[in-house]
Amino acid sequence: MTALDIIAKHKIVAIVRLDDLSAAGNITKALIAGGIRAIEFTLTNEAAVSTIAEIVNLVDESVAIGAGSVVNADQARAVAEAGAQFVVSPVCKREVIEACLALDLPTMPGAFTPSEIQQAWEWGAAVVKVFPANHLGKRYIKDVMAPLPHLRLMPTGGVNADNLREFLDFGAFALGVGSALINKEAVAGRDWKRLEAEARRYVDQLP
């Protein structure tokens, strides 16, 4: 099963954006125990690349590990070498998409307007990250999909356990979920059961 297959099936991409990734292994295990099968480590932390290399050796083929906040081709190549199975970006840059295509990595660039979304798709995006989704709302996904039904969209930013079902009902292919899921208090307190329970709460809302 490819990373894209895993994301299509399980719908939630958990976004780990933390200043400290020393507990990445425990975070990953807790998320998996809670039913999450796609996890993204963002390059906002300089340890993310080495963390990805570590984590891909901890999980089996049912879990996809990706890199987020990738904004140039060099970063795309670095995370690919580390073993990342998908690449996410907050912006739409052709060089990132083309680098990922050359590496046979599904890429999910960020876009906001219908024109930006369609451009990302034409350049070769596997999925387009609609970001920040909290400024657009759930119905925006439905409005974009109506004239552009070929798209695969992943709303990110503002997605939580209370609204994720509606995003999916309105046509979202998958959902990027960050701080609403990765509870910083739980991580700081090394409360992995709490993090697992939070992950399960999200998974239980899926269709």
CA distance 87 to 108: 6
In the structure encoding, which two tokens stand for residue 31, read together? 């998320």
The helix (run of H) or strand (run of E) holding residue 100 is: helix 94-102
> Would you call 184 a catalytic residue per the annotation?
no
CA distance 128 to 151: 8
Q: Count other Cβ atoms within 10 Å, centred on residue 150.
A: 7
What residues contact residue 146 under an 8 Å CB cut-off, 6+ apart?
A: none
CA distance 151 to 121: 7
- The single-letter DSSP state of residue 92 is -
Choose among 154, 149, 150: nearest CA to 106.
Answer: 154
> Would you call 142 a catalytic residue per the annotation?
no
Q: Which of 11, 40, 93, 138 is catalytic?
A: 40
* Cβ neighbourhood burial of 60 (10 Å; 0-12, 13-18, 19+): exposed
Q: Which of 11, 54, 93, 129 is catalytic?
A: 129
Cite the active site residues: 40, 129
